[in-house]
Amino acid sequence: MTTSEKKYILKVLGLTKHFDGVYAVNDLSIAFEQGTITGIIGPNGSGKSTLTNLLSGMFEFDKGTVLIEGEHLKKINSYDLPTYGLTRTFQEVRLFEQMTVTDNILVTLTSRHVFSALFESHTQLHLNQAKEILEKVGLWEKRHQLAHNLSYGQRKLLEIARVLAMDAKIILLDEPFAGLFAEMIKVIVSVMQEMKQQGKTLVLIEHNMELIRQLCDYLYVLDEGKLLAQGTPDKVLGERKVIEAYLGE
């Protein structure tokens, strides 16, 4: 595919965010091609989570522009994310703790607004969709449990199930595999591959280079908030400066 045919659904231009003296993200310009999985790697503290937080409106950025499907944004509001078709997961999983597993999914399916969803009656359609999603991630047996009572790995799976229920176009995944058993990793890998097949755009922050090689079409390496390297995983992971950035961690 030539460059001109590529469709970049998400672009970041000169994005900058500092905390006191630290530039967490420093004049960063990168782009994400629709229907692909793009990896973001880099040593601890290189700005990966901050980038996700900026793209999902958790923090305001100091400078720069974000383009989503060609629309220039100088500011991102987290409550507008469904409108942009963007969703994310958290390095520290966030769920509706006092709701059941099924309700966590129904709330997402029924409405983006928690409180109205609580008082709405769920249609059979939503119940069927929730079942399908929970079966896909292997949580159907746990459907009556409170999110709060799930194991660490099950919580990560429920967060992925919520991503499926969102049906967003752009999905930012901040270390979705961290601390998971092989069996759960397999589930998330196949969910990600399926989403990609459906034309969704995935951004994966991950430390496990085997998973990066297996899943990613393209890779950006960050170091101190700046772009250190980019390209296919095979190319990038062999570069001396990338290896050195990790060794120096």
Ligand X SMILES: Nc1ncnc2c1ncn2[C@@H]1O[C@H](COP(=O)(O)OP(=O)(O)O)[C@@H](O)[C@H]1O
Residues making contact with ligand X (CB under 6 A): 19, 22, 24, 42, 44-50
In whole angstroms, give the CA distance from residue 66 to residue 168. 17
Which partner in Mg ion, ligand X, none is near 47 (CB below 5 to 8 A by kind)? ligand X
In whole angstroms, give the CA distance from residue 127 to residue 147. 18
Which partner in Mg ion, ligand X, none is near 45 (CB below 5 to 8 A by kind)? ligand X
Cβ-closest residue to Mg ion? 49
Nearer to ligand X, 35 or 45 (CB): 45
Nearer to Mg ion, 53 or 129 (CB): 53
Shortest distance (Å) from residue 26 CB to ligand X: 10
Shortest distance (Å) from residue 48 CB to ligand X: 3
Structure tokens at 20: 């006191």
Nearer to ligand X, 48 or 169 (CB): 48
Q: Which of residues 40-79 bind Mg ion (CB under 5 A)?
A: 48-49
In whole angstroms, give the CA distance from residue 162 to residue 154. 12
Nearer to ligand X, 17 or 169 (CB): 17
Residue 45 CB coordination number (10 Å): 15
Give the rounded distance of the alpha carbon of 150 from its chain centre: 21
Shortest distance (Å) from residue 129 CB to Mg ion: 31
In whole angstroms, give the CA distance from residue 41 to residue 10. 18
Shortest distance (Å) from residue 21 CB to ligand X: 10
Structure tokens at 212: 């990066």
Residue 11 CB coordination number (10 Å): 17
Shortest distance (Å) from residue 223 CB to ligand X: 9
Shortest distance (Å) from residue 189 CB to ligand X: 21
186-189-192 Cα angle (round to 5): 150
In whole angstroms, give the CA distance from residue 81 to residue 4. 28
Give the rounded distance of the alpha carbon of 72 from its chain centre: 21
Nearer to ligand X, 52 or 102 (CB): 52
Which partner in Mg ion, ligand X, none is near 42 (CB below 5 to 8 A by kind)? ligand X
Nearer to ligand X, 72 or 241 (CB): 241
- Tokens 């399926």 sit at which residue? 194
Which chain residues interact with Mg ion by CB under 5 A? Answer: 48-49
